[in-house]
């Protein structure tokens, strides 16, 4: 019962456990893959804007899978990310269609404009 109460406040404990496992996988990669994957992870944390825990967990599991596979195959980092690592990372993040922080603000903006329009009509 206490676990449900804690999860209600902090989110899924299973998701947190999975996140930590995926982060450890990224940190455990050989260089230069660990640095590249760590940089992508950091960028996604700041710019990914994913609010849904399931989506975020899936995204970071896939990120760890991507870089582990590259390390095993010996694929050069630039062959993974191309010439523009920002574009690659943003495209990677866009594949995860969960709720994003900006969705809430878009709804607020739309509602505010709708309310303003109604006030004008009075």
- The CATH number given to whatever domain includes residue 40 is 1.10.1900.10
Domain that includes residue 83, residue range: 2-121
Indicate whether 99 pLDDT > 60.
Answer: yes
Identify which has the larger pLDDT, 95 or 3: 95
The model carries a pTM of: 0.74
Q: What percent of the chain has pLDDT over 90?
A: 59
Supply the pLDDT for residue 15. Answer: 87
Q: In whole angstroms, what is the distance from residue 93 CA to residue 23 CA? A: 16
* Total count of domains within the chain: 1
Least confident of 29-33, 71-75, 100-104: 100-104
């Amino acid at each position: 019962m206490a676990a449900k109460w804690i999860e209600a406040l902090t989110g899924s404990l299973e998701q947190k456990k999975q996140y930590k496992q995926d982060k450890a996988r990224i940190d455990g990669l050989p260089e230069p893959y660990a640095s590249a994957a760590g940089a992508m992870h950091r960028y996604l944390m700041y710019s990914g804007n994913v609010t849904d825990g399931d989506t975020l967990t899936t995204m970071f599991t896939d990120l760890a899978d991507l870089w582990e596979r590259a390390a095993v195959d010996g694929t050069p980092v630039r062959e993974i990310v191309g010439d523009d690592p920002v574009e690659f990372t943003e495209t990677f993040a866009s594949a995860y269609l969960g709720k994003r922080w900006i969705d809430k603000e878009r709804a607020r903006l739309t509602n505010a404009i709708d309310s303003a329009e109604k006030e004008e009509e009075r």
